[in-house]
Amino acid sequence: MHTQIQILPVTGIGDIRPGDDLGRLIYDALKQQQLTLQQGDVLIITQKIVSKAEGRLVHLDDIEPSPFALQYAQRYQKDAQHVEVVLRESKRIVRMDHGVMICESHHGFICANAGVDESNIGGERVLALLPEDSDRSARQVRQRMQELTGEGEHLDFAVIISDTWGRPWRNGQVNMAIGVAGMEPVTDYRGQNDPYGYELRASMIGVADELAAAAELVMGKVDRIPVALIRGYTYKTGQGSGRDLIRESATDMFR
């Protein structure tokens, strides 16, 4: 029998400040909601509160824009200091047109503005950068929460750090997984047979991205719901990484 999956918003997580103990805050918020973390749960956390807790914030007034940033900003009526931050977070510019910068971040993620974001920061002229290592962030929250439950490693659940990105060819941004702990983010059906005995050739499913997308449905942009809990999904446990979701350049035709 196939069980249902539940997507639960985790409410009551207030403003996050650099140095905050995110694991503790989420643990307390769950408790407040009378939710107890269970074996097999998946906790999805938006990048923004992770970046805030880790102090990954940049004050634009501290930034000296390069000549390149200055001329690009002038051409598209943008903030040169903001452009400079995006450039510094980028390993490579994938496309730069119509005033849009699609960048490859130092982590290898390809997205607009290298993931540098300016909404929901709560300060003027402050930008949030992506976490330095979102897998590490996911692992830290996971370990901290395992500790707080008193069950330690016996409580096997997964953590996903997510961000909301646009895509080529399609309108609308969707939530995606950038950091992972406790699960394999890609399910590989290759070699298995479909119900008709046909061997599935090219079926690798980006389940962590699908979990992140599902979580966004309870988060919303204008609500204060930075965390969601997904219960009832059977993922493959393991030491997966958000990097498993990054396509190798050799097989990528759109770099």
Question: Within positions 160 to 179, which residues make up the interface with a second copy, using CB under 8 A?
Answer: 164, 166-176
Instruction: Estimate to the nearest angstrom the gap between the alpha carbon of 216 and the chain centroid.
Output: 11
Phi, psi of 92 (to 5 degrees): -165, 145
Closest Cα partner for 46 from 252, 223, 195?
223
| Minimal distance, residue 252 CB to a second copy, in Å | 6
Closer CB to a second copy, residue 11 or residue 143? 11
- The answer to the question of residue 223 lying near a second copy (CB under 8 A) is yes
Which stretch, 57-65, 68-76, 153-161, 191-199, contacts a second copy (CB under 8 A)?
A: 191-199
Q: Is 239 exposed, middle or buried (0-12, 13-18, 19+ CB in 10 A)?
A: exposed
Closest Cα partner for 137 from 26, 222, 7, 34?
26
Closer CB to a second copy, residue 87 or residue 146? 87
Considering only 59, 93, 217, 236, the residue that binds a second copy (CB under 8 A) is 217
Query: Binding to a second copy (CB under 8 A): which residues in 110-139?
Result: 110, 118-122
Closer CB to a second copy, residue 61 or residue 253? 253
Considering only 74, 76, 153, 205, the residue that binds a second copy (CB under 8 A) is 205
Contact between 128 and 117 (Cβ < 8 Å): yes
CA–CA dist 66, 61 (Å, integer): 14
Q: How many CA atoms lie within 13 A of 35 on its CB side?
A: 22
Considering only 185, 227, 240, 241, the residue that binds a second copy (CB under 8 A) is 185
Contacts of 223 (CB under 8 A, 6+ apart): 9
Considering only 114, 128, 225, 227, the residue that binds a second copy (CB under 8 A) is 225
- The answer to the question of residue 93 lying near a second copy (CB under 8 A) is no
Closer CB to a second copy, residue 148 or residue 230? 230
Considering only 61, 62, 64, 97, the residue that binds a second copy (CB under 8 A) is 97
- The answer to the question of residue 77 lying near a second copy (CB under 8 A) is no
Closest Cα partner for 39 from 189, 163, 146?
146
Closer CB to a second copy, residue 150 or residue 172? 172
Instruction: Estimate to the nearest angstrom the gap between the alpha carbon of 188 and the chain centroid.
Output: 21
Which stretch, 18-26, 77-85, 140-148, 200-208, contacts a second copy (CB under 8 A)?
A: 200-208
- The answer to the question of residue 29 lying near a second copy (CB under 8 A) is no
- Bridge partners of 59, per DSSP, are 126
| Minimal distance, residue 122 CB to a second copy, in Å | 4
Instruction: Estimate to the nearest angstrom the gap between the alpha carbon of 140 and the chain centroid.
Output: 15
CA–CA dist 172, 164 (Å, integer): 10
Closer CB to a second copy, residue 74 or residue 200? 200
